[in-house]
Structure 1
């Protein structure tokens, strides 16, 4: 006779806690999970094949759309791979700007994570708190690139343009006027560096507010402590990176172990967990936000005194200045050629990785000497993490599956790439 307590449950692909188009087939014994089978491929957009059909510089925008919460970090890995094959060195100021925006992106990612994970587990208020700060940093994205999300700001050889001298200000509305409007614009009176300085000073106090809501909250701890424990040896065997690995006690961070950009010149710590459970993953990400604010402060201080170009002056890979195009026909021709045909990259293969907010995001690139890649293979951290789902959630309750997916911090743009 069939056990009426045993049944299969479709979790997703449209479930609000699935964090994307994840279909999770759960074999249940009452409320207890016996087996979990993640089904991916429902979103698949063929990003890697699309990148192989276009000139190198036409695919930067695709990188933003992979992990669409960590846009510039994705771009960083891709342009670093191109720079390796071209043998070009990014100017000092461009490297510092990249380092600063990588950390801005890390904070943006973790703010989205803490808000959505809190919402998954019933803590509604933290989402509103986190998005308050997120809006400020989205304004920085928009000010520097013209787009709030898909920036396409990093380019082979540097970044698209230098930091603006002025931040956009809030305008008077029926909801914001008088003293309230003045308060909202207080940080925006100076340059972008002034704004980021003020933000980095204030942000740790905002993180304190998130912790007041969650860290010692007994309901939050009941939902996360001892749930989804990943031992360090298992984390390494599954190819975990980022907060998933560090929460299990492994202090592995590419910014320290294989420094790129200007990470070798900034001071920061690697937060590490002890138990490898959902609670430790929360604590590690919160600590990482504090460290990112430290790094941003150091980058701002350096950029205040550092002059120079932000992108290489080589018209084969970087566009000329707009003023030059107006008076120089050769510069104008270079501009059109760059954005239509692109540039030829020497034959070879390379792998470039960055410490993205979710873990190691890497780009393996092969060039056959043409103006488009022969092969693009992207290493997304979320794909490796999701492979552990079955073993981690066995024996847990159905509600714990939601907690586990939340602490994986999955975004399906990079998983179903």
Structure 2
């Protein structure tokens, strides 16, 4: 048989990438009317990703399309799998903190906080009030930074390049603040078990206030470019519908859930780190579409500014870490001048610290939704199990519900509206 004849014998099934046949088979069969053929002659299978820029990471979508209309959709994940949860079992408790930075790499301080809260429950540590206020301050600055990345990339996906440049201008100012307080722009490892790593340097509060004073005008600038833009509105309004019932059934949380009319926010309804002391509104919309998710996040950035200002105004004096010498690394000046502090430092770094046997969970409101950490201790210096439940994984499974019946171009808008980070999905 000649090479040409051999090519003629190759079927579409032979051309499938090994290992994804199940994804394709599933994408062409589920949610169909009873009695209908698994694959219609009028439909075709289309791969979107995993190198597609609008998938916001290495996400592969297997689309079944009829013309340009989505018939079914199946996400194929795992391209960014790092094994972080398993790696945590081989690390001391303190060494896990830098691992959490890399889960949702747009909100490292929120991941740090969620992990620290769970371990602090096991240790029964009392975190000083000043440390709690600093955590709230930087968690909200992190929320703004994450939403800026969402807005910039979402707008660029739709074709509004100018907004991307403006958002990253403000994000750069925040990254400089993060670098000044932690030494790192992104992977900060700033929130530690028992408190925070370092005191804020002199002049930082002034810099943060300057940013917060200017930022509301920047939000208005973004909205001035987008809200009355007919292309932007037509690409977002009425697209990617997700009802409140569907959001609950699929486990959706965060802005996509609140944009479907569900009034729930962990910061208000299950407060942690002193959030019960802060006054803020929870933006909710009944629009249930991509446009509603856009409006909710824009309002969330304004509310984060309010919370940050309250944290700065009410910032108490005192320690930034719990008083637990055998668990918390001593102050560096004490470590250099006091023998006992040097010994504690040496033992914590080289041997870790034992955590009483038991299990604990924590819940925080991350920029993408509800984040949960589950930590199990067997009484040793290393966790027996660390599980991260991020909102991105649950929100992604709602993608098909939002995209069925929409056009291929609408998939780009819907992915941007749920704001997934693949590091949080694959782990």
* TM-score where L is the length of structure 2: 0.90
**Contact in 1 for aligned 2:242/2:401 (Cα 8 Å):** no
Matching of residue 107 in structure 1 with residue 144 in structure 2: yes
Instruction: Give the alignment of 1:67-146 within 5 angstroms.
Output: 67-146=104-183
Cα distance in structure 1, aligned partners of 2:309 and 2:209: 6
Q: Which runs of 5+ in 1 are unaligned?
A: 166-190
Deviations 1:160-205 (A, max 9, x none): 111100xxxxxxxxxxxxxxxxxxxxxxxxx111111121111111
Cα distance in structure 2, aligned partners of 1:390 and 1:197: 42
Structure 1 segments, 4+ long, off by >6 Å, are none
Give 1:387 deviation, angstroms.
Answer: 1.0
1:208 paired residue number: 220
Cα distance in structure 2, aligned partners of 1:74 and 1:230: 27
1:401 paired residue number: 411
Deviations 1:225-281 (A, max 9, x none): 010111001101111111010000111000000111121111110000111100000
Matching of residue 300 in structure 1 with residue 312 in structure 2: yes
Cα distance in structure 2, aligned partners of 1:326 and 1:384: 48
Match of 2:257 among 245, 249, 272: 245
Give 1:4 deviation, angstroms.
Answer: 6.6
**Contact in 1 for aligned 2:46/2:65 (Cα 8 Å):** yes
1:48 paired residue number: 85
Q: How many residues align?
A: 389
Specify the SS of the correspondent of 1:363.
Answer: strand
Instruction: Give the alignment of 1:16-415 within 5 angstroms.
Output: 16-165=53-202, 191-303=203-315, 306-415=316-425
Give 1:314 deviation, angstroms.
Answer: 1.5
Structure having the higher Rg = 2
Cα distance in structure 1, aligned partners of 2:417 and 2:148: 13
Specify the SS of the correspondent of 1:66.
Answer: coil
Deviations 1:291-342 (A, max 9, x none): 0011111111112xx2111001222221111121122222112112112221
**RMSD of aligned C-alpha atoms?**
1.1
Q: Which runs of 5+ in 2 are unaligned?
A: 1-38
Give 1:374 deviation, angstroms.
Answer: 0.8
Cα distance in structure 2, aligned partners of 1:66 and 1:128: 25
**Contact in 1 for aligned 2:153/2:164 (Cα 8 Å):** yes
Cα distance in structure 1, aligned partners of 2:61 and 2:372: 26
* TM-score where L is the length of structure 1: 0.92
Give 1:6 deviation, angstroms.
Answer: 2.0
1:176 paired residue number: none
Specify the SS of the correspondent of 1:349.
Answer: strand
2:18 paired residue number: none
Deviations 1:9-52 (A, max 9, x none): 11000000111111100011111111101001111101100001
Cα distance in structure 2, aligned partners of 1:291 and 1:47: 32
